[in-house]
Amino acid sequence: MQAYGHWKVAGSLAVLMLGASNTLAAERTGREVVEQTCATCHTSGKDGAPKIGDVAAWTQHSKKGLAKLTESAIAGIEKMPAHGGQPNLSDLEISRAIAFMVSFGKAVDPNKPYASPTSMTGEQLAQSHCVNCHGDGKEGAPRINDFNAWKPRLQKGMEGLVRSTISGHKAMPARSGMAQLSDTDLRNAVTYMVVQSATYQPRN
């Protein structure tokens, strides 16, 4: 019976991994991200940022490839903060902004991020950071050992939960207050906590 219960949980989690991603808010276009965020520095070249339209500057910055350029934008580099100072931007939106600026508005928006680097495992992130709130349910955070608390948050599937982690939700700031984390980092941590809660067995 216990084995059956674990298989049932595993099946439910598999459905959640795949479910309802088409109901999420649409990702912003490269033009929208540039106009709303990147233009603040990249229009004037503030703090050494390559200007939009400067072929030589963008050729130099992208010589190691768009994936490396995206990794730098996600983590932050020199005077540019992580995720361009807007932690609620997804890695795909960052990639689209880069495509727009490098091509001077001519490139088609990519459908997948150029990069979404992993800085640590989901378990490491959950145990070193997420547990500060999800360990004891601080300010309404669902506890790692309470699957019933996670269920309502999974109504839009796992990707919906990851998206709310990226953008922030109630008392939780965007990217859990760690702007340098990639979408992959957050997805791994969320997956770890949900699986831990679903398979939790209290000690007798």
Domain 30-102 has CATH 3.90.79.10: no
Q: What does the pLDDT read at residue 141?
A: 95
CB count within 10 Å of CB 31 equals 14
Q: What does the pLDDT read at residue 204?
A: 63
Which class would CATH give 2-24+116-198?
mainly alpha
Q: What does the pLDDT read at residue 201?
A: 80
Q: What does the pLDDT read at residue 26?
A: 79
Q: What is d(CA 144, CA 190) in angstroms, rounded to the nearest whole number?
A: 10
Per-residue pLDDT of the chain (204 residues; tens, 9 = 90+): 444 444 444 444 544 444 444 334 679 999 999 999 999 999 999 999 999 999 999 999 999 999 999 999 999 999 999 999 999 999 999 999 999 999 999 999 999 999 999 999 999 999 999 999 999 999 999 999 999 999 999 998 999 999 999 999 999 999 999 999 999 999 999 999 999 999 988 776
Q: pTM of the prediction?
A: 0.86
Angle between helix 157-167 and 2-18 (nearest 10): 60
Question: Same CATH topology for 2-24+116-198 and 30-102?
Answer: yes
Name every residue whose Cβ is closer than 8 Å to that of residue 165 and which is 6 or more positions away in sequence. Answer: 172, 175, 176, 186, 190
Please give the single-letter amino acid code of residue 156: K
Q: Please state the domain extents for the chain.
A: 2-24+116-198, 30-102
